[in-house]
């Protein structure tokens, strides 16, 4: 695993497309039972090199009801975004994750994660990649039908502060999905 992580952290496959240059951010350990597949690091995470070290990460840890110490314990959580580097800014937020990362590295990483019991699919990019034709037409439909993907996958919206409107419009997420998420996390850590 250490050799693979070193290769990924030194990856420059899409360097010419990255406005801040390559800085792959991820965490993985063969003992982890939970994998968090998110989108791509934002500027704060790019600067710190620490996954989910921003407002979105704080909300995610709140949803999961885990401490920072547990969250950043690689033997408990592997953090494998769809794009490992900050992709740049678009008109309404960050650009989508670079398409090179997941096909290049995810399979190799999951081969070295034999104990995974739960994969959190955060956002549409992760859901479409892993659920393929089983994903619903919209993120809302996919998340609402989360039970269909258990026990392996748990689809979730992105915990970004920009998603406040979605959370307000879909209160069932925090009343139904978050308790299920907490129960599954608690049982695995």
Residue 179 per-residue DSSP state: H
Look at the pTM and tell me if it is higher than 0.75. Answer: yes
Report the alpha-carbon distance of residue 16 to residue 112 in Å, rounded: 29
Report the alpha-carbon distance of residue 149 to residue 120 in Å, rounded: 10
pLDDT of residue 163: 87
Q: 97: which 2 tokens?
A: 């994750």
Question: Over 107-159, what HEC string results?
Answer: HHHHHCCCCCCEEEEECHHHHHHHHHHHCCCCHHHHHHCHHHCCCCEEEECCC
pLDDT of residue 94: 85
pLDDT of residue 188: 96
Report the alpha-carbon distance of residue 106 to residue 81 in Å, rounded: 9
Tens digit of each residue's pLDDT, the chain (189 residues):
999 999 999 999 999 999 999 999 999 999 999 999 999 999 999 999 999 999 999 999 999 999 999 999 999 999 999 999 999 998 878 889 999 999 999 999 999 999 999 999 999 999 999 999 999 999 999 999 999 999 999 999 999 988 899 999 999 999 999 999 999 999 999
């Amino acid at each position: 695993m250490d050799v693979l992580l070193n290769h990924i952290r030194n990856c420059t496959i899409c360097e010419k497309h990255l406005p801040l240059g390559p800085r792959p951010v991820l965490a993985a350990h063969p003992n982890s039972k939970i994998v968090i597949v998110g989108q791509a690091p934002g500027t704060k995470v790019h600067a710190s090199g620490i996954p989910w070290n921003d407002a979105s990460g704080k909300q995610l840890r709140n949803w999961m009801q885990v401490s920072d110490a547990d969250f950043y314990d690689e033997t408990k959580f592997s953090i494998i975004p769809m794009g490992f580097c900050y992709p740049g800014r678009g008109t309404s937020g960050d650009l989508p994750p670079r398409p090179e990362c997941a096909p290049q590295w995810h399979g190799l990483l999951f081969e070295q994660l034999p104990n995974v019991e739960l994969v959190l699919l955060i956002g549409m990019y992760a859901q479409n990649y892993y659920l393929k034709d089983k994903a619903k037409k919209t993120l809302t439909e996919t998340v609402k039908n989360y039970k269909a993907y258990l026990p392996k996958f748990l689809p979730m919206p992105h915990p970004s502060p920009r998603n406040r409107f979605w959370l307000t419009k879909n209160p069932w997420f925090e009343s139904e999905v978050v308790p299920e998420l907490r129960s599954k996390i608690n049982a695995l850590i």
